[in-house]
């Protein structure tokens, strides 16, 4: 089941990864000329990738909806940006013109919910990592009546073999509900099944979290780690690559407890990654132990953070996290 969707997700994520890699290489090469705080390169990659994925979706599954972050409004005050995005996206879709590009971008305005089938896209997840020349992810998931059934993460800078840089970089993680999780090279076809680690004592775990403290409460995460007896330094990495890291056993815990009150998690930040971990043997819930709710539109229905583990001691992590939160 979902064979055609799996193949589509892999192919389009590989194509998107190559486009993103090209833009990031240009950022690194021209770092001296970029103004501090200039997000235009990642915006260009975001828009081009969303347009390409949207067009491929129209061609392959025309009745499916798309829920994504960007739209053509980004071009209103910047003809220069529009021209750059058009030029980049034509590398994948040669017959794009200005109008068809805008139409493809605006197709991502689906409202979400639990009553239909739609794809969820984060074209470049991990903006700051992308701009630093480090880690980011292309995240694409298929949601069928409120349940994620296919998820792919393109991680262009992640080592193919952990701890062995000579093996190269660039991975695609693919999960289908009920069929497990596998990894392949961005430019390859050979796949290897992956699993979360087998650690059963949380004190022996490695905890994964965001690089930026603005994205997650590092101090709270540290207190939770302390309550669990964790002594290893946290594995900090940008984007949904964190889900991939836990999925293939490099870390046992991923915490995302927002540092700002009232913050609402967006569907595209978690849909693909959560399935990658779950199908690799792990578990993903909110702070209350509830599965992620994708039936409430473009934001997750549950509001109390994200906790992902290898599945062996999830309840212990939940207990520690709730105790720390309740003591604040």
Q: What is the pLDDT of residues 187-204, one digit of tens each?
A: 999 999 999 999 999 999
- Same domain, residue pair 161 and 212: no
- Same domain, residue pair 168 and 64: yes
**What CATH number is attached to the domain comprising 251?**
3.40.190.80
Our measurement of the distance from residue 239's CA atom to the centroid of its chain's CA atoms, rounded to an integer in Å, reads 6
Instruction: Count the neighbouring beta carbons within 10 Å of the beta carbon of residue 307.
Output: 24
- Same domain, residue pair 10 and 151: yes
The Cα 230–Cα 97 span in angstroms is 54
Question: At residue 35, does pLDDT exceed 90?
Answer: no
Of 140, 165, 194, the residue at which a domain comes to its end is 194
What percentage of the chain reaches a pLDDT higher than 70?
Answer: 96
The Cα 239–Cα 28 span in angstroms is 19
**What CATH number is attached to the domain comprising 119?**
3.30.540.10
- Same domain, residue pair 239 and 285: yes
Least confident of 153-162, 196-205, 272-281, 295-304: 295-304
Average pLDDT, the chain: 93
Task: State pTM to two decimals.
Answer: 0.95
* Active site (annotated) includes residue 46: yes
DSSP state of 289: S
Of 139, 161, 194, the residue at which a domain comes to its end is 194
- Same domain, residue pair 172 and 304: no
- Same domain, residue pair 80 and 188: yes
Catalytic-labelled residue, pool 46, 197, 269, 286 = 46
Catalytic-labelled residue, pool 64, 125, 127, 309 = 127
The edge-to-edge listing of strands for the beta sheet with 253-256 is 235-236, 207-209, 253-256, 306-309, 283-285
* Active site (annotated) includes residue 77: no
Task: Annotate 208-269 with three-state secondary structure.
Answer: EECCCCCCCCHHHHHHHHHHHCCCCCCEECCCCHHHHHHHCCCCCEEEECCCCCCCCCEHHH
- Same domain, residue pair 41 and 190: yes
Residue in the structure block whose two tokens are 């990658």: 276
Instruction: Count the neighbouring beta carbons within 10 Å of the beta carbon of residue 207.
Output: 24
Number of structural domains, the chain? 2
Residue 185's domain spans which residues? 3-194
Q: What is the pLDDT of residues 235-280, one digit of tens each?
A: 999 999 999 999 999 999 999 987 677 788 999 999 999 999 999 9
Question: At residue 313, does pLDDT exceed 70?
Answer: yes
- Same domain, residue pair 124 and 234: no
Rounded average pLDDT over 49-58:
98
- Same domain, residue pair 184 and 308: no
- Same domain, residue pair 155 and 233: no
- Provide the pLDDT confidence category of residue 120 given band limits of 50, 70 and 90: very high
Instruction: Count the neighbouring beta carbons within 10 Å of the beta carbon of residue 26.
Output: 13
- Same domain, residue pair 186 and 207: no
Question: At residue 32, does pLDDT exceed 60?
Answer: no
Of 194, 220, 239, the residue at which a domain comes to its end is 194
- Same domain, residue pair 170 and 242: no
Hey, what are 176's tokens? 């289908």
């Amino acid at each position: 089941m979902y064979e055609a969707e799996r193949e589509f997700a892999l192919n389009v994520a590989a194509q998107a990864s190559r486009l993103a890699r090209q833009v990031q290489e240009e950022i690194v090469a021209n770092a001296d000329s970029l103004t501090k705080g200039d997000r235009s390169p990642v915006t260009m990659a975001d828009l081009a990738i969303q347009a390409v994925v949207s067009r491929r979706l129209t061609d392959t599954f025309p009745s499916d909806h798309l829920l994504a972050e960007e739209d053509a409004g980004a071009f209103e005050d910047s003809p220069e940006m529009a021209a750059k995005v058009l030029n980049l996206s034509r590398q994948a879709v040669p017959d794009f013109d200005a109008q068809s590009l805008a139409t493809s971008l605006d197709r991502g305005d689906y409202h979400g919910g639990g009553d239909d089938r739609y794809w969820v896209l984060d074209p470049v997840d991990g903006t700051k990592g992308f701009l630093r020349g480090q880690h980011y992810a292309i995240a694409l998931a298929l949601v069928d009546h409120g349940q994620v059934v296919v998820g792919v993460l393109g991680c262009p800078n992640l080592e193919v073999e952990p701890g062995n840089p000579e093996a190269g970089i660039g991975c695609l993680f693919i999960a289908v509900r009920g069929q497990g999780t596998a990894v392949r090279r961005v430019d390859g076809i050979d796949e290897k099944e992956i699993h979360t680690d087998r650690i059963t004592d949380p004190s022996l775990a490695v905890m994964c979290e965001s690089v930026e403290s603005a994205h997650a409460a590092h101090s709270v995460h540290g207190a939770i780690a302390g309550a669990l007896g964790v002594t290893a330094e946290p594995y900090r990495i940008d984007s949904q690559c964190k889900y991939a890291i836990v999925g293939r056993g490099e870390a046992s815990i991923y915490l995302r407890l927002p540092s700002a009150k009232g913050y609402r998690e967006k569907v595209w930040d978690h849909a693909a990654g959560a399935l990658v971990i779950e199908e690799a043997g792990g578990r993903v819930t909110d702070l209350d132990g509830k599965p992620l709710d994708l039936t409430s539109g473009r934001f997750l229905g549950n509001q109390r953070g994200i906790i992902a583990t290898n599945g062996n001691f999830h309840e212990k992590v939940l207990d520690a996290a709730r105790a720390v939160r309740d003591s604040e």
